[in-house]
Amino acid sequence: MKPPLAMVAILAGLAAVGAAGYQWLIRRPEPTTDGLLAAPGLNDRVEVVRDRWGIPHLFARGEDDLFFAQGYTHAQDRLWQMDFNRRFASGRLSEVVGESTLLLDRWMRVLSLRRSAEAAWPHTGPEACRAATRYAAGVNAVIDARVRENAWPLEFRLLRYRPERWTPADSLVLLRLM
């Protein structure tokens, strides 16, 4: 027995909508992992080679570009996770997930990881400051590109928010969290 033509057309239409939705929701915001990518903020050429597991291996002529590329690739792959952890460590998770995390936010603020990191920043050595600043610039280059392209990972779209710019102190906050 042949299926009715209308049923075949409906199934084909649903498959097309599903494929388009998958492309828009899931695939579109994935990072560029091959080809040449120009990032404003680099002083020289940086080669990013991803192995078969997608792990980036960075090759740069200078440390400034190396730390920039590290921030860039981290943000390409894990921007939402980075922002979530920053908010968690800073006691600001409720701003994006709601009242259910208020108690946790209060506890994290009692621990003062954010305040401690910001107080430590002026006393951080010049090499570490430079590394953290370049790392933040790499993260922010990805955020800026996401703003220009309006291509946000699924988690940001589901929670309907955008990350704030990354600061060197954010990296110190995460170090304290670990």
Residues 76 and 126 in one domain: yes
> Each residue of 3-53: pLDDT tens digit?
666 655 665 665 555 555 555 555 555 666 555 556 788 888 888 888 888
Residue pair 117/172 in contact by the 8 Å Cβ criterion: yes
- Which of the two residues, 31 and 57, has the higher pLDDT score? 57
Residue 40, exposed/middle/buried by CB under 10 A (0-12, 13-18, 19+)?
exposed
- Asked if residue 83 and residue 21 are part of one domain, the reply reads no
Residue 156: give its domain's CATH number: 1.10.439.10
Residues 17 and 40 in one domain: no
Question: Does residue 74 sit in the same domain as residue 20?
Answer: no
Judge if 25 and 62 occupy the same domain. Answer: no
> Is there a single domain that holds both residue 12 and residue 37?
no
pLDDT in tens, 118-162: 999 999 999 999 999 999 999 999 999 999 989 889 999 999 999
Q: Do residue 68 and residue 5 come from a single domain?
A: no
| Domain boundaries, position 3 | 1-30
Better pLDDT: 72 or 32: 72
Beta partners for 60?
46
- More confident call, 17 vs 100: 100
Structure tokens at 65: 């570009």
pTM above 0.85, yes or no: no
Amino acid 73: pLDDT: 93
Are 172 and 132 members of one domain? yes
User: What is the pLDDT, as a whole number, of residue 10?
Assistant: 67
Partners of 48 in beta bridges: 58
Domain count, the chain: 2
Does 136 share its domain with 81?
yes
Closest alpha carbon to 152 in 94, 96, 88, 90 = 96
User: Which percentage of the chain shows pLDDT scores above 70?
Assistant: 79
Pair 10, 70 in one domain: no
Q: Does residue 80 contact residue 164 with C-beta atoms inside 8 Å? A: no
pLDDT of res. 39: 79
State the distance between the two ends of the chain, measured CA to CA, in whole angstroms.
63
- Is 112 a residue whose pLDDT tops 60? yes
Asked if residue 49 and residue 20 are part of one domain, the reply reads no
pLDDT recorded at residue 41: 83
Kindly state whether residues 6 and 81 are assigned to the same domain: no
* pLDDT band, residue 2 (cuts 50/70/90): low
Among 125, 115, 127, CA closest to 169: 115
